[in-house]
A and B are shown apart, each in its own frame.
Chain A
Amino acid sequence: MSTEREVLLDIKDLHVTFGSGKKAFEAVRGVSFQVYRGETFGIVGESGSGKTTIGRAIMRIHPTSAGEILYKGSRINGKISRQLDRQIIQEIQMIFQDPMASLNERAKVDYIVSEGLLNLNRKLSNEERMKRVQQALAEVGLLPEFASRFPHEFSGGQRQRIGIARALIMEPECIIADEPISALDVSIRAQVLNLLASLQKSKGITYIFIAHDLSVMRYFSDRIAVVYKGRIVELAETEELITHAAHPYTKALLSAIPMPDPVKEREKKLTVYDPSLHDYDKNPPEWREFRPGHFILANDREIKEGFRE
């Protein structure tokens, strides 16, 4: 992947703060990255690391406190024109973690899937709407008659498909998938991942894939950013990140992936990340290119001598 690829999203020194004054909590503390058109950009980190907040800031759900989010070159955080707002709503969509909680229990699938469409175009004819719903359902592998049913009639995997159809109907260019498979059974996980992959192939959708689990990430993402306490600590292409992980936190995440090999698993040493290993008080870390295309948050000493283990 080289620099000549089109940058779809450019995030520059993004900060997100919740609360104010003494109670202020900075959930995202200056992250910068670019997402190229058509790629899958993975954001991995533990609960509370701020990975979801980054996704939601891009969606304009959380206001940003500093920094810029550029979408196709224009700024989309803070105050923007009504027209741009509508464009963003249509072009950036989201898929949520829990398919049991993210669908309106009292609405039929037909309404759930087309609600966003109606919001953008109130004059949409009923026939046109139904046609688009049917098409979106077909694309995610659901039958057209499902449109008249309620969410509780479906299994977890089917519900997640409905969530994906709801995003697809808007014909988005970018989908932010926030832990889309962690609430699903293993066998259904594979189905949903395959569906997302095939949609990307046929429609060229860009994904921002948020998860806590590197085992899914390394299969699914082109590039991965590792987030720890509101900062990206390492970013590289998937293969590069896995074979040349440098940051101790990335290493801890890698060592935690459970592998289906009992003998090896029993011998495996678990790496636990200890943030006190860094000497950042006197020598603060900087975001730098460590190998070509491989970025890392480290201070001078760590670059020279390597990270303490």
Chain B
Amino acid sequence: MVIHMNQEVILSVRELNIKFTLRGQELHAIRNVSLDIYKGESIAVVGESGSGKSVLTKSFMGLLDNNGFISSGEILYGGKDLAKYKSEKEWQKIRGGEIAMIMQDPMTSLNPLKTIGEQIAEAVRLHQPDIKGKEAVRDKVYAYLQDVGIRKPELRYKQYPHEFSGGMRQRVVIAIALACNPKILICDEPTTALDVTIQAQIMRLLKDLKVKYDLTILFITHDLGVVANIADRVAVMYAGDFVEIGTAEDVFYDPRHPYTWALLSSLPQLGQKGEELFTIKGTPPSLYKAVKGDAFAPRNPRALEIDFLMAPPVFEISETHKAKTWLLDPRAPKLEPPEGIRNLKNLEVLG
């Protein structure tokens, strides 16, 4: 899908700041983030553990932990500002019916004491009240089971989660999310707990369902490698801020931020046998203190002097591609991305 700027925005995050209070200290988890999500796209938010990718998406559903709060900014959805939502009652209208979420571990997101059919039916009754009568609900559940690729729905309806494999359970979780009839589907590392073959199948399934159910999909992952297939756009997050955002082609074929370079370089898919894999040295900055300059600078061996002094502004590379790095300033030296990732286009499969 080609992203045009005039496309309809379904959810817009504007200068959002999220903080947590922990032992009397304040942790600045999301630092002035802005992001437009377009209707019908699939966008991937990529970052290391602790980068804030899950915190950001949890704030769309009012699921922040009790010590977390939005200190400023807006989350615009359907003409309303979700950042202002306080009561559970308000959130109930958003959760499931407007925005649904699939978690990482299908083992823990299902109720072990209820049949999977009952769990899907519960979502249907709650979110699609126009479907009346036991039979109608049951037929709808069968339809969902079939859509997520579970064969023999009549038999499977009556089974419990322990009778399903990991991949099948994730399909059930997806069916529950679909039964809520959401507009946006957030997938938080939906395949990390699964085998590679199953992972690939679930990704394909989500792609098909996106078309069939007219969904907007938001992926969260730490692994840039898995999103090339499914993402229309990729947003790279570091230390609570987006450092680069663009179409999948922009980010994979023409990455500009040193952190994106580092993430791509460390993929084992690109490793040459007998040579060391690229690693990112050091650890992400502490978000208890204010971050000075480019947050990635201390871990970037080729950081510029100014990276330590001043935070870079957002530079626009093209209509779709933006990055926050001083390297894009006309006065900056011309640095080439590392050799290993210069030519990802038409990469020999496992060369």
Contact = CB atoms under 8 A, between A and B. Distances in A.
A270 interface: yes
A262 B199 contact: no
A219 B273 contact: yes
Contacts of B345: 261, 263-264
A190 B266 contact: yes
A189 B270 contact: no
B195 A260 contact: no
Interface string B258-299: 000011101111111100111110010000000000000000
A212 B196 CA distance: 7
Contacts of B280: 187, 190
A189 B231 CA distance: 23
B22 to A, nearest CB: 16
A283 B283 CA distance: 57
Interface string A200-227: 0000000000001111101110000000
Given A187-B280, A259-B269, A270-B200, A215 B229 contact: no
A260 B197 contact: no
B175 to A, nearest CB: 20
B266 A258 contact: no
Interface residues of B, number: 49
A268 B225 contact: no
A257 interface: yes
B197 A262 contact: no
B78 to A, nearest CB: 30
Interface residues of A, number: 43
A46 B200 CA distance: 13
B332 interface: no
B271 A219 contact: yes
B48 A260 contact: no
B277 A263 contact: no
A115 interface: no
A265 B228 contact: yes
Contacts of B253: 262
Contacts of B271: 190, 193, 219
A186 B225 contact: yes
B252 interface: yes
Interface string B329-351: 00000000000010011110110
Contacts of B249: 262-263
Contacts of A259: 225, 228, 269, 347, 349
A309 interface: no
Contacts of A215: 196, 225, 268-269, 350
A238 B350 CA distance: 11
A266 interface: yes
Contacts of A191: 279
Contacts of B267: 186, 260
A257 B350 contact: yes
B76 interface: no
A273 B349 CA distance: 19
Nearest to B200: A256
30 contacts: A46-B195, A47-B166, A47-B195, A156-B49, A185-B48, A186-B48, A186-B222, A186-B263, A187-B262, A187-B266, A189-B266, A190-B277, A194-B276, A194-B279, A212-B195, A219-B272, A257-B269, A258-B199, A258-B203, A258-B269, A259-B228, A260-B225, A260-B270, A260-B344, A260-B347, A261-B228, A262-B253, A264-B346, A270-B200, A270-B201
